[in-house]
């Protein structure tokens, strides 16, 4: 972001050489330099804040991903959410994504790893975002919030970390909102015949579980992509 400001001719004049009959003008001229320094300092702070606004932080002043890190160990996540077992699902998805992409080799023993990926599952919640005239839920949004860090094993240091990272996905909340011809529906495990066969409760629960599975897979893919951008 570039800050634009108006130039003033007074900045090129040395205050001690100016003889003005207006003492107020002379005082403003003398105060111009410290004000300019304050503006530059403020601009620098704003640029730093803009750089970290995405929520991700890279150590080492952004030199890129360490070239000596070839192997990674995905540690068990801490789960503080109400969804039992999601920490294992996330760890499994991350291991699968790293193996599928191949840039970093996943190892099963921590002492074999150059780096360790660990995290905390803060929450996994769903909320209604769309209703019909009868106040029946048509669409839900599922949100996953996590903390993550990638640290070097020896010497121990943080390579990359993120706090309160949010990932969301929308899913249908009722029979009438399900579009069986959509690509999203076709990639799921639910069949067209199941929409009419299931009760409303069964259908909503099935759609919720599918949305969670898809969100975790997308989460692992986006995390891997974010890490690889450091190369």
- Rounded to 10°, the helix 23-30/32-52 angle is 40
CATH number, domain of 155, equals 3.30.160
- Same-domain pairing of 165 and 191: yes
- Dump pLDDT digits (tens) for 164-206: 999 999 887 655 555 455 555 556 565 555 555 556 667 778 8
Mean per-residue pLDDT for 213-224?
Answer: 93
Contacts of 193 (CB under 8 A, 6+ apart): none
How many Å apart are CA 22 and CA 10, to the nearest integer? 14
In this predicted structure, what is the pLDDT of residue 6?
A: 46
- Same-domain pairing of 118 and 62: yes
From start to end of 40-114, where are the E strands?
A: 56-58, 71-74, 78-79, 105-106
- Same-domain pairing of 26 and 122: no
Mean per-residue pLDDT for 10-21?
Answer: 46
CB 122 within 8 A of CB 80: yes
Residue 1 placed within a domain: no
CA distances from 168 to 65, 111, 224 (A): 27, 34, 17
Query: β-pairing, 137-152 with 115-131?
Result: antiparallel
Q: Which of 159, 64, 78 is closest to 118 using CA atoms?
A: 78
- Same-domain pairing of 190 and 113: yes
Average pLDDT, the chain: 74
Residue 107 pLDDT exceeds 50: yes
Determine what percent of the chain is predicted with pLDDT higher than 70.
58
For residue 182 the two structure tokens come to 């959509």
In this predicted structure, what is the pLDDT of residue 173?
A: 66
- Dump pLDDT digits (tens) for 26-48: 444 455 455 555 544 554 544 44
In this predicted structure, what is the pLDDT of residue 139?
A: 85
The total number of structural domains in the chain stands at 2
- Same-domain pairing of 93 and 28: no
| DSSP per position, 145-166 | EEEEEEEETTTTEEEEEEEEEE
Mean per-residue pLDDT for 95-101?
Answer: 94
- Same-domain pairing of 43 and 147: no
pTM: 0.62
Residue 161 pLDDT exceeds 80: yes
Residue 115 placed within a domain: yes
- Same-domain pairing of 129 and 214: yes
Phi/psi of residue 37, each to 5°? -65, -40
- Same-domain pairing of 92 and 171: yes
- Same-domain pairing of 47 and 154: no
In this predicted structure, what is the pLDDT of residue 206?
A: 80
Residue 104 pLDDT exceeds 50: yes
Residue 43 placed within a domain: yes
- Same-domain pairing of 36 and 124: no
- Same-domain pairing of 205 and 91: yes
Count the residues in the chain. 231
Residue 100 pLDDT exceeds 90: yes
CB 95 within 8 A of CB 130: no
SS3 content of the chain, % helix, strand, coil (to 5): 45, 25, 30
What's the DSSP call for residue 76? P
Residue 3 placed within a domain: no
In this predicted structure, what is the pLDDT of residue 184?
A: 57
Residue 71 placed within a domain: yes
- Dump pLDDT digits (tens) for 44-67: 544 444 433 334 443 333 356 788
- Same-domain pairing of 139 and 25: no
72 prior amide bond cis, ω within 30: no
Residue with structure tokens 């209604």? 128
- Domain, as residue range, for 22: 9-52
């Amino acid at each position: 972001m570039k800050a634009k400001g108006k130039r003033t001719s007074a900045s090129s004049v040395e205050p001690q050489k100016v003889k003005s009959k207006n003492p107020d003008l002379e005082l403003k001229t003398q105060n111009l330099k410290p004000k300019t320094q304050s503006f530059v300092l403020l601009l620098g702070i704003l640029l730093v804040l803009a750089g970290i606004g995405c929520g991700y932080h890279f150590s080492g002043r952004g030199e890129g991903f360490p070239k000596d890190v070839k192997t990674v160990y995905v540690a068990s996540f801490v789960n503080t959410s109400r969804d039992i077992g999601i920490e294992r699902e996330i760890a499994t998805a991350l291991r699968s994504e790293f193996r599928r992409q191949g840039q970093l080799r996943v190892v099963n023993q921590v002492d074999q790893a150059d780096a360790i990926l660990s995290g905390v599952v803060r929450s996994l919640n769903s909320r209604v975002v769309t209703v019909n005239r009868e106040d029946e839920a048509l669409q839900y949004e599922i949100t996953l919030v996590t903390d993550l860090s990638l640290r070097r094993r020896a010497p121990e240091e943080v390579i990359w970390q993120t706090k309160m990272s949010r990932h969301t996905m929308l899913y249908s909340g009722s029979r009438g909102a399900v579009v069986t011809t959509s690509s999203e529906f076709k990639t799921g495990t639910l069949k067209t015949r199941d929409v009419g066969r299931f009760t409303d409760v069964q259908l909503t629960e099935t759609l919720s579980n599918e949305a969670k599975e898809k969100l975790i897979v997308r989460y692992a893919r986006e995390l891997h992509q974010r890490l690889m951008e450091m190369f």
